[in-house]
Structure 1
Amino acid sequence: MHVPDGFIDVPVSVATGVVAAGAVAVSLRGARRELDERTAPLAGLVAAFIFAVQMLNFPVAAGTSGHLLGGALAAILVGPYTGVLCVSVVLLMQGILFADGGLTALGVNITDMAVVTTVVSYAIFRGLVRILPRTRRTVTVSSFVAALVSVPAAALAFTALYAVGGTTDIPIGNVLTAMVGVHVLIGIGEAAITALTVGAVIAVRPDLVHGARGLSAPLKLRVGGELVDAAPAPAAAPAAARSTRKVWAAGLVTALVLAGFVSFYASANPDGLEKVAADKGIDRKTEPHHTADSPLADYGVRDISDARISGGLAGVIGVGSTVVVGSGIFWAVRRRRTDAGSTGTLVAGGKI
């Protein structure tokens, strides 16, 4: 659902740029509360994983494909504020390096794909885990539903933006029907990917899943036909002391394999927005991308003729760049939290 330059007029693009900048600023402050010594290094990995999976377009209808948006996945794994930043980093890297999503439309894309999907999905997720039994399975089921709804919500948001600032004269009812219809189907794929990923991480390290914190239920034993609480297990090592290196390494290898190898087999059909734009005439005023001459434009490496090698290498470069940039940002945010906490302690102790 990457919006290129020319779909939305300048005033609305500027307005969404302001909204996106404000959302990122708020998220930077909020992420300081979400990130700790365990999750800070994983947040960059989540961004890289989303980048990799977004390269895997899957067919959803005749001549149409879809791909992960990632807002629900990021919010549930590392928190909603950090989730907005994760998807924003992905969109920034895609726009600058791969000419995917317009640069003047970056505010539109961050507002739609990062803010809307994260806010909607996390609100639904939190509502579900509060009313359903508090188990790990609840987290997985809730993540499926939240991700499913987030995609048509993003389609609705784009339609609203297009109704206000669209550059072509297309009946908005036609755009709404087409966008929501195809993105409901894409939402099913988004939901499956999100639930599988969240479930896999919960199975290995539930303490690393932001949305699973505090959801464990006591073990029950049946004694004399009645369920009673089992004796507490011996105290385990504090979660903060448990290393995340194995999880980080496994996640990075998975992202590299998906982007560097599996992406070659992704659907070549246009995604939902591209198909609707072509069918309805929304793309009549599309402008050339500002980085169209990038050596990695269109997810290939210039001057490498072999499509498999070119696309795979571009994917590996994208994953590496995203994890480096994302990790740097999240470590800086985490460091500011630590510095702020230290300053607060000094002031409280009267040492300044």
Structure 2
Amino acid sequence: MHMADALISPVVGGTMLFLSAGIGIYSVKKVEKDIEDNKIPLMGVMGAFVFAAQMINFSIPGTGSSGHIGGGLLLAILLGPYAGFLTMAAVLLIQAFFFADGGLLAYGANVFNLGFYTCFITYQLIFKKVTLKGFSRKTIYIACILSAAIGLQMGSLSVVLETVLSGKAELPFKSFLILMQPIHLAIGITEGFITAAVVSFVWNTRPELIERTTKGLSLGNISIKKVLVTLSLATLIIIGGLSWFASSNPDGLEWSIEKITGSDELETEGVVYSTMGKIQSFTSIFPDYSFKSEKKETEEELKDMIREEKLESNSETVLVAVIGGGITLFIALMTGFSINIYKRKKNKKQDI
């Protein structure tokens, strides 16, 4: 459900960027107060895991569409809502800049749609409420499925509203809404099952990690090495194994747009769009998760090349995914380390 720049106006894109940046700054301040050394590597591993998982589209039977997990709920459950939101923002930034997945103008909207609702609404009001009296396999599955499904419904509704507010007449509100909500309900339920499976594993392995994070308590000195190793191996399996079986069908957003307009992309005109396109064309060294051609394509030529040729081979996708996962791991780790270093320096000054 990554929005392209063509779906959003500069005003709406700028507003959503400002809003997401404000939530991000607030999250940094909250994380600064309780970040722990053993949570930093978990941020890195979970960032890489979500990056890999978002690459694997699963088919929605009978529709010709596909979907992938958003990952915001999973990040919130394992990291807490604030660190989860920051990790999601890092994942989406890497996807937009290096892989041309989601527009730069639409970056703030994508962060809000995929991160805010799951990390701060459904995680807080549904997942924590359902598991309030204790964890079990049953409560985990109920909480995850409800939270993921409702969170994605909110996110997909936001996409529709942001598009309508941007004045995109090609996508009438009613028609767009009727297509977006049901298909993302199916995607959300599937994400709920996947999230529950991962959370159940972590809970069985280190119940303290899930239980303390849900209550907002310190992790203390609990060892999470087994969780880190297993999730790292799972990331490699997703990249190297499941990527061969990923669906090539358009995702829910592209499918909805194509049903209405006959194409999965909208035409754009204007200095802002052309500037953003040129910047993204320059920074995206792996457009559409493939190696960029040596030929210097324009933005439109690059899109045509991706649309017509797709990937030269799936092995190329695997290699690019490994690189992307490594970049995400590094950025997420650096985010955690930077916040931790700033916290220590601030505490040191206060002690003096």
TM-score under structure 2 normalisation?
Answer: 0.84
Q: How many residues align?
A: 322
| CA deviation string 1:310-339 (max 9, x = no partner) | 010011001110001111101211233334
Whole-angstrom distance in 1 between the partners of 2:312 and 2:162: 39
Please tell me the root mean square deviation across aligned C-alpha atoms, in Å: 2.4
**1:197-256 CA distance string (max 9 Å, x none):** 1111111112222666569xxxxxxxxxxxxxxxxxxxxxx9633433332222222112
Distance 1:327 1:24, change over 3 A: same
Distance 2:215 2:6 in 1: 46
Q: Does 1:284 align with 2:273?
A: no
Q: Is the 8 A contact 2:145 2:188 kept in 1?
A: no
Tell me the SS of whatever aligns to 1:65: strand
8 Å contact from structure 1 (residues 68, 190) kept in 2: yes
The residue that corresponds to 2:131 in the other structure is: 129
Partner of 2:298: none
Instruction: Supply the AA of the counterpart residue of 1:329.
Output: T
Contact 2:99/2:287, CA 8 A, preserved across alignment: yes
> Is residue 2:291 matched to residue 1:301?
yes
Kept in 2, the 8 Å contact 1:206–1:212? The answer is no
Residue 310 (str. 1) matches residue 316 (str. 2): yes
Query: Partners in 2 of 1:241 and 1:170 — Cα distance?
Result: 52
What is the deviation of 1:340?
Answer: 3.5
Alpha carbons of 1:292 and 1:260: their partners in 2 closer, same or farther (altered >3 Å)? farther
Match of 2:39 in 1: 39
Counterparts of 2:241 and 2:150 in 1: how far apart (Å)? Answer: 30
Question: How far apart are the structure 2 equivalents of 1:8 and 1:270?
Answer: 20
CA distance in 2, matches of 1:92, 1:56: 18
Question: Which amino acid is 1:283 matched to?
Answer: E
CA spacing shift, 1:214–1:108, aligned 2, 3 Å:
closer
Q: Is 1:165 aligned with 2:145? A: no
1:177 aligns with 2:178: yes
Residues 34/161 of structure 1: CA separation in 2 closer, same or farther (3 Å cut): farther
Whether 2:321 is the aligned partner of 1:321: answer no
TM-superposed CA distance for 1:184, in Å, is 0.4
More displaced stretch, 245-254 vs 176-185: 245-254
Q: Which structure would you say has the larger Rg?
A: 1
Q: Aligned pair in 2 of structure 1 residues 166, 58: CA closer, same or farther (>3 Å)?
A: farther
Q: Distance in 2 between matches of 1:277 and 1:178?
A: 9
Q: Does 1:253 align with 2:233?
A: yes
* Unpaired stretches in structure 2, ≥5 consecutive residues: 295-310
Q: Where does residue 60 of structure 1 map in the other structure?
A: 60
> In structure 1, what residue type is equivalent to 2:244?
F
The equivalent of 1:271 in structure 2 is 251
- Check 1:210–1:102 CA distance in 2 against 1; reply closer, same or farther (3 A cut): farther
- Unpaired runs of 5+ residues, structure 1, are 216-237, 347-351
Q: Which has the higher helix share?
A: 2
Contact 1:139/1:212 (CA < 8 Å) preserved in 2?
A: no
Q: Which residue number in structure 1 is paired with residue 49 of structure 2?
A: 49
What displacement does 1:50 show?
0.5
Residues 1:207 and 2:213 are matched in the alignment: no
Q: Does the Cα contact within 8 Å between 1:59 and 1:66 map onto a contact in 2?
A: yes
- 2:300 — aligned with what? none
What is the Cα deviation at residue 35 of structure 1?
2.4
Following TM superposition, by how much is the alpha carbon of 1:135 offset from its aligned partner in structure 2, in angstroms? 2.6
Q: Provide closer, same or farther for how the CA distance between residues 311 and 170 of structure 1 changes in structure 2, counting only shifts above 3 A.
A: closer
Q: Which sits farther off after the overlay, 14-23 or 118-127?
A: 118-127
